Amino acid sequence: MRDVDPRQSMTAIRAATSDDEIRRCWPVLRQLRPHVEEADFVPAVRRMAPHGFRLVFAEDERGEVRAVAGYRVTEMLRTGLMLEVDDLVTDAEARSGGFGRALMDWLVAEAEALGCSVIELDSGVQRHDAHRFYFREGMHILGYHFSMSPRRLR
């Protein structure tokens, strides 16, 4: 995993590997996942890590976290090796500042470096601003993502 922005911009992209780095991502990530409590955030990331979850963040020239992405590399029969983005969010106060684009560029470079055939992410149907961003970045809607509660499976 690289710790540099492939565009060589003022935005630094770093992997959140220490508890402190993970903790620094929470104020931005909670804007996307408000149900995740601060006390639960680091332990949750640590539990997901053995399953391939990785957390990266974009910081500004002052070292403030401005955008966060959680992703994993997985393999599926339909895609082969795939970089799957679980979470992608830019701080509301820093939107349109290039941080989301820098993070997306980093994710694309990471997928290429790892030999992934595709990058995929799910986005809530209500997140219209995010959808505009994904379209601008060259993504398209592939299909529906269906879900059900496990209690329905009984």
Looking at residue 25, which CATH number applies to its domain?
Answer: 3.40.630.30
Structurally, the chain folds into a number of domains equal to 1
Task: Answer whether residue 17 is part of any domain.
Answer: yes
1: Cβ contacts below 8 Å, ≥ 6 apart: 15, 54, 56, 110
Whose CA is closest to 32, among 129, 116, 137, 120? 129
Per-residue pLDDT tens for 47-59? Answer: 999 999 999 999 9
Residue 135, pLDDT above cutoff 90: no
**Distance, CA of 120 to chain centre:** 11
Residue 118 in any domain: the answer is yes
Q: Does a structural domain hold residue 1?
A: no
Any domain includes 138 = yes
Parent domain of 145: 12-153
Summarised one tens digit per residue, pLDDT across range 3-52 is 444 444 457 899 999 999 999 999 999 999 999 999 999 999 999 999 99
Residue 31 resides in a domain: yes
Give the predicted TM-score (pTM) of the model: 0.84
